Structure 1
Amino acid sequence: MTWLVTGGAGYIGAHVVQAFRDARIGVVVLDDLSSGHEEFVPDGVPFVRSSILHTDVVARTLDEHNCIGVVHVAGFKYAGVSVERPLHTYTQNVTGTVSVLEAMQRAGVEAIVFSSSAATYGTPHVDLVTEATPTHPESPYGESKLIGEWLLADQGRASELRHTSLRYFNVVGSGAMELRDTSPHNLFPLVLEALAQGRTPRINGIDYPTPDGTCVRDYVHVADLADAHVSAAKALAQGRELLPVYNLGSGDGVSVRQIMDTMAAVTKIPFEPTVAARRPGDPARIVASGEAAARDLDWRMSYSLEQMVATAWEARQAAQA
């Protein structure tokens, strides 16, 4: 029983691969290394360097490794940059997903877990986002992820495809010292890099209608997230009925100020963040319920904020050793 993980050399994808191996499920990785790292792929895991846009390669990989399903993590994941590069974003995320589905159809593979995003919701005007919250993406990235969900649903109606999509918010931490978030846009690596270089991290806006005036967001440890992908894959392989979409959320969230305070405590680098103006379009609070995923996928958050920061810091330090 082998699964193909597209984007399996990236930060999230590599943790998904690790979770599959921990569950003793066979896995093969396909990644073009545009943002991933070949060294993230464990020894003994077959690795195919290719873009998901190369349908023939994807189909051949599925055939050669007798794959029964796909965890589709590959994609262009930078929401802000997607506004400047919409055509690139749609090519990677929409055309790329079409290519994966076409390859699956050719190879007779009928199960897929799709890495979606909370960006599909845009700026929801509710205290707690659920799967029933209307979608209103506000970037080409968010739009492309929503279209990906539509593609799965349409192909499911037209064929025997079994599928589910996992929407998540801010993914942080590390599940292994050799795996870390190298994104130039995410909060955790930005703050930790600033501290490591002796610079002072920055908070954008301290006058939001939240308990401490800073934005409140959902943060999920990457290892918990990876486990959800494995649970979903197992359920699909067993023929269990799943919802088309699940949120992976904390239910309460944490503020940017709380993160900064925790960063200082864990790293033992005392600092007072500089304060800048709000960034346009930043909502005060976005927090999601994970109740449906807990019910159907037996999913739980097992890492505290301190552990999220500590594992991210340890992985960052290990990379520089």
Structure 2
Amino acid sequence: MNWLVTGGAGYIGAHIVRALRDDGITPVVFDDLSSGHADFVPPGVAFVRGSILDRHLVSATLRDHRAAGVIHVAGFKYAGVSVHRPLHTYAQNVEGTRTVLQAMADSDVSNLVFSSSAAVYGTPETAPVTEETPTLPTSPYGESKLIGEWLIRDQAVATAASAAPLRHTSLRYFNVVGSADPTVYDTSPHNLFPIVFEQLLNGQTPRINGDDYDTADGTNVRDYVHVRDIAAAHVVAARRLAAGGPIAPAYNLGSQNGLSVREIMDTVARVTGIAFTAEVGLRRAGDPDRIVATGDLAARDLEWRNRHTVDEMVRTGWEARRAADAHG
């Protein structure tokens, strides 16, 4: 069974590719390498370089590889940057998803796992959020992911009576960290773990943006989940769709409790052996005290659980980042 992974040369996508392969599913990578890396694609895995906006190339790839489904990970994932680049964000995430859906329809491919985001919830007033929490995104990125979910929902309704009705689910998650393969690491310039790792490698002191939040230690609390667990949930969802089993339209891949920024900093210092005291700067406008999600529904249907401690999250991410330097 073959599955196409859009964005399969990126940090998360590359882990999904490995998880599919380990589960006996043949992955096919489709990526334009705008943020992915060709060397993240494992040897022997088919790789098509191209844009998800190229409907004909996506369609041809689906047909050529007789794909049973698509795991759609490709997109522009930077919420803060999306505020300044809304048109680019919508082109990649909304038009890109529409194009993938059209290519699937053209190729009679009817199974879709959509890598969505907990950014669809915006800044919820209560925590933890559930799948029933109102979706009120506060950035073009969050809006684009929610619109992507709407497109998928509407296409499923439109094809319900057809010979190949669209079967789908959307996986919503916050901060993905760690590594399950020393050759793959998070290269984003906007995520906390790689920012802190780069600062330490450059002899700089990491910074906390505000320590006067309404939390136990004054720093804001977020969901952090290990990339191996995220990848595993995508594989179970793909298996469930392909088998024709019941599946919900959306799942939160949440940790339930979350971790504070200071807890992350303390763990980084302990695990790396680099002693530092994080500097404290001003709050960032709009940052809520706490955003975490439950994973109860995903635990029921997708075998979801947090299998990694915060120490393991930091250690595996740090080791993969250091390995990248060691290999040039």
TM-score (norm 1): 1.00
Q: Is the aligned partner of 1:36 residue 2:41?
A: no
Show the counterpart of 2:296. 291
Which residue number corresponds to residue 4 of structure 1? 4
Alignment of 1:268 with 2:273, yes or no, is yes
In 1: Cα distance, 2:209 partner to 2:109 partner: 46
CA RMSD across the alignment: 0.4
Shift of 1:256: 0.3
For residue 28 of structure 1, give the secondary structure of its aligned residue in structure 2: strand
Report the equivalent of 1:168.
Answer: 173
Map of 2:20 onto structure 1: 20
- Letter matched to residue 318 of structure 2: W
Name the CA distance, whole Å, in 1 between partners of 2:117 and 2:202: 31
Superposed CA offset, 1:59-111 (max 9, x none): 00000001010000000000011111111000000000010000000100000
Letter paired with 2:157: R
Write out per-residue CA displacement over residues 36-75 of structure 1, whole angstroms, 9 at most, x where no aligned residue.
0000000110000000000000000000001010000000
1:117: which partner in 2?
Answer: 117
Residue of structure 1 equivalent to 2:215: 210
Question: What are the equivalent positions in structure 2 for 1:1-321 lying under 5 Å apart?
Answer: 1-159=1-159, 160-321=165-326
Mapped partners of 1:206, 1:136: distance in 2:
26
Q: Distance in 2 between matches of 1:161 and 1:195?
A: 47
In the alignment, the residues of structure 1 paired with residue 155 and residue 11 of structure 2 have an alpha-carbon distance, to the nearest angstrom, of 28
Amino acid in structure 1 at the alignment position of 2:50: S
Partners of 2:320 and 2:138 in 1: CA distance = 32
C-alpha distance in 2 between matches for 1:104 and 1:311: 36
Deviations 1:233-292 (A, max 9, x none): 000001011110000000000100000000000000000000001000000000100000
Structure 1, gaps ≥5 residues long = none
Rounded Cα–Cα distance in structure 2 between residues aligned with 1:104 and 1:90: 20
Q: Secondary structure at the match of 1:84?
A: coil
Q: Distance in 2 between matches of 1:156 and 1:288?
A: 26
User: Secondary structure at 1:76's aligned position in 2?
Assistant: coil
CA shift, 1:301, in A, is 1.0
How far apart are residue 127 of structure 1 and its match? 2.0
C-alpha distance in 2 between matches for 1:173 and 1:143? 27
One-letter amino acid of the structure 1 residue matched with residue 4 of structure 2: L
The residue type equivalent to 2:134 in the other structure is P
**TM-score, normalised via structure 2 length:** 0.97
Q: CA deviation at 1:179?
A: 0.2
Q: Give SS of 2:157's match.
A: helix
CA distance in 2, matches of 1:279, 1:110: 42
Distance 2:212 2:87 in 1: 36
Determine the C-alpha separation between the residues in 2 that align with 1:156 and 1:227: 24
Distance in 2, matches of 1:262 and 1:104, equals: 44
d(CA) in 2 for partners of 1:298, 1:20: 15
Could you list the per-position Cα deviations for residues 145-168 of structure 1 after superposition, in whole angstroms to 9, with x for gaps in the alignment? Answer: 000000110000011000000000
Structure 2 SS opposite 1:30: strand
Offset of residue 300 of structure 1: 1.2
CA distance in 1 between counterparts of 2:183 and 2:127 reads 37
Q: Which amino acid aligns with 2:14?
A: A
Q: 2:113 aligns to what SS in structure 1? A: strand
Distance 1:268 1:50 in 2: 41
Deviations 1:126-181 (A, max 9, x none): 12100000000001100000000001100000110000000000000011000000
Deviation at 1:183, TM superposition (A): 0.2
